Amino acid sequence: MPPRSNSDVRFTSSTVKIHPLSGRNPPPPPPPPFLPHNLLAQLARTKFCSISLLPSQASMPPPRRNSDVRITSSTVKIPPLSDHNLPPPPPPFLAHNLLSQLARAKSSFDNILDSLISRSLGSIRRHSGARSLRSPLLCSASLSLTGSQPRRQSILCSASLALSQPADSGPPEASVVTQQKSGGHSVSRGDEERVLISEVLVKNKDGEELERKDLEAEAMAALKACRPNSALTVQEVQEDVHRIIDSGYFSSCMPVAVDTRDGIRLVFQVEPNQEFQGVVCEGASVLPTKFLEDAFRYEYGKVVNVRRLDDAITAVNGWYMERGLFGLVSGVEILSGGIIRVQVAEAEVNDISIRFLDRRTGEPTKGKTKPETILRQLTTKKGQVYSMIQGKRDVDTVLTMGIMEDVSIIPQPAGDTGKVDLIMNVVERPSGGFSAGGGISSGSIPTLLTLFFSSFAYSHRNVFGRNQKLNISLERGQIDSIYRVNYTDPWIEGDDKRTSRTIMVQNSRTPGNLVHGNQPGDSSLTIGRVTAGIEFSRPLRPKWSGTTGVIFQHAGVRDEKANPIIKDRYSSPLTASGKPHDDTLLAKLETVYTGSGDHGSSMFVFNMEQGLPLWPEWLFFNRVTARARKGVEIGPALFLLSVSGGHVVGKFSPHEAFAIGGTNSVRGYEEGAVGSGRSYVVGSGELSFPLLGPVEGVIFSDYGTDLGSGPTVPGTPSCLVPCTSIII
């Protein structure tokens, strides 16, 4: 078959698609172990970003200015880049095709070289008589590796090597002789045949000079093996093709070898990326638009570099990871006009269910708590992007209900929807029980018998399965006693503000000797109070809560025989109304700030009570109190500073004055032993430090004063002297 002339040879270029490129940044950490298996599979498929670089077409619109770019929010899928410059082995599912294509490429290249050498030697033997037979030096070797699915470092590019002889070249014999003298083709049969390259150039895909010399310099700098006057194999050329692509500035690269008088010229025909003009995000429902703009801000107007693009993608992935959100960039595509389209995948919550587990066997069982009582405690809702941090807060919230021993959340795949179903496993604790105990009375202690008191209580933490709490308690001593019934609904049904309701009934009897003194014959007197009320409380903002309510109180003083008395031994009144009992209807308003809730955390409480005189004999007064506390850690020690104060205006019972002294006031004194007044201020400084194991030492100093308001209290309160006590 006669050889064909070079004019019949057609050279075509192919576009290189890379899935994905190598990068310097390490891949992101794996998703949490409890990530649903199908979501894990989806993340594995999208873990390494697939970047398709598409050349602009005439039918596509011209590049737009930054001001015309519209950035929208939708979903995301992301791919980190690899860490090596050299392309890794092909994915397992491409092994068969890859090996077969490599074998075919090597065989084709060997056959071409054998044919070239045999033709050259035959030409020499025919001498100059055969000069009219132009034996074109035309050989080509191509390697095309493709895969059906994008994987990390997958080889998805094409490289072709073509050797052609220009039409105006000299006699083939001379050319062949020259090549033989210079070793143009190695005739050794090693692992791979080598071809001597005399010149290496970088041009555009049409074979013309690149407009931007800096891009040409980047491509030349990426080459490692392909240098002038070097003998190369197809594999080495292929590796340099990958290195040019890995530089990040080019969307395609095709090597073309041309036979010239001076030897074989290797030309890398490249297609640079477009200049970056804007970004469009799809699939991101929670990713802020401003964050996305800032991540790409420094790339505007520059040629898109896939390596720097990977840094922006990593920043977006980091935003999701910092917030514990199930989201990542799943795809990036460069569109015509320099617009980058970023696709985000976010796992939304499809459904939330409650599963009760037996506290002994761990097997599913029937629970006593109504599922809706638990579900309304959760801040995670259907349709939201699932957040691990938010899920942890929900677990803590359910535990604070006080009716669960253990709580955990397990995400499960919701079919093929890309969403997750959340299963909350809960283990209930016993809901009710009795308790009994005893203690030491803080009141007057005339005899050893009055030192102790006993207590009995019944509590139910989960009335009707709605987390409503019932507490019935009794404390009884020789002098004082308290009977109390509390019923609390921590979240009123149908209320979306988490409002709680507490109904309280209490009957108490406390000593009054410390303020009013003993009666004739050293007989003691007690202050009896019957109280009933209802209070509503709700969170106002983080760490702040508010309480309001109405309380009715029926109070009076009795002697040891339980007879009501209205005056003490000094003929001072013991009631404000002059009757055996004082009735008061109080409207209460309280605001509380709590820090972390620990013993040394900050705390502030403001309380105001207003007496409502619905009946003429009911008391009318206003009482305001405030307390503040601040803790400071000093090495292993904790310094705690607290201050409290209050003031009463109006007509009130003497026993309603502020009593100074006791464990919650000036320590070292019995309750009310320091004095009482319409106003008061108490300050305390305390330094606690560990001694041995659970044993701690405490140094404190307390100070209390009535600000001179003692004489204004009805009756004869104890004389108040500012006092400081130091106890270690």
Residue 479: what pLDDT? Answer: 77
What is the Cα–Cα distance from 245 to 222, expressed in whole angstroms?
9
Bridge pairing between strands 339-346 and 327-334: antiparallel
Other Cβ atoms less than 10 A from the Cβ of 163: the count is 23
Q: Please give the DSSP secondary-structure letter assigned to residue 129.
A: G
Q: Please give the DSSP secondary-structure letter assigned to residue 303.
A: B
Number of residues that make up the chain: 728
Q: What share of the chain is helix, strand, coil (3-state, %, to 5)?
A: 20, 40, 40
Residue 53 backbone phi and psi in degrees, to 5 = -100, 110
More confident residue, 10 or 533: 533
How would you class 273 by CB atoms within 10 Å of its CB: exposed for 0-12, middle for 13-18, buried for 19 or more?
buried
Mean pLDDT of the chain: 75
The DSSP result for 623-676, as a single string, is EEEEEEEEEEEETTEEEEEEEEEEEEEE---GGGSEEE-STTSSTTS-TTSSEE
Residue 107: what pLDDT? Answer: 52
Most confident of 158-172, 435-449, 557-571: 557-571
Residue 306: what pLDDT? Answer: 86
Q: Cα dihedral sign for 278, 284, 285, 286?
A: negative
Residue 366: what pLDDT? Answer: 94
Residue 459: what pLDDT? Answer: 95
Give the CA distances from residue 669 to residues 519, 527, 728, in Å, rounded to whole numbers and listed in that order: 22, 20, 15
Residue 386: what pLDDT? Answer: 95
Residues 6 or more apart in contact with residue 627 via CB below 8 angstroms: 603, 604, 605, 642, 643, 644
- Residue 638 tokens read as 């904790």
Mean pLDDT of the 599-604 span: 83
Whether the predicted model's global pTM rises above the 0.75 cut: no
% the chain with pLDDT above 70? 68
Structure-token match 């709490």, residue found: 469
Is a pLDDT exceeding 80 seen at residue 350? Answer: yes
Tens of pLDDT, residues 662-685? 888 898 888 888 888 999 999 999
Cis omega before residue 63 (within 30°)?
A: no
**The Cα angle at residue 261 between residues 259 and 263, in degrees rounded to 5:** 55
Q: Please give the DSSP secondary-structure letter assigned to residue 89.
A: P
Mean pLDDT of the 40-67 span: 37
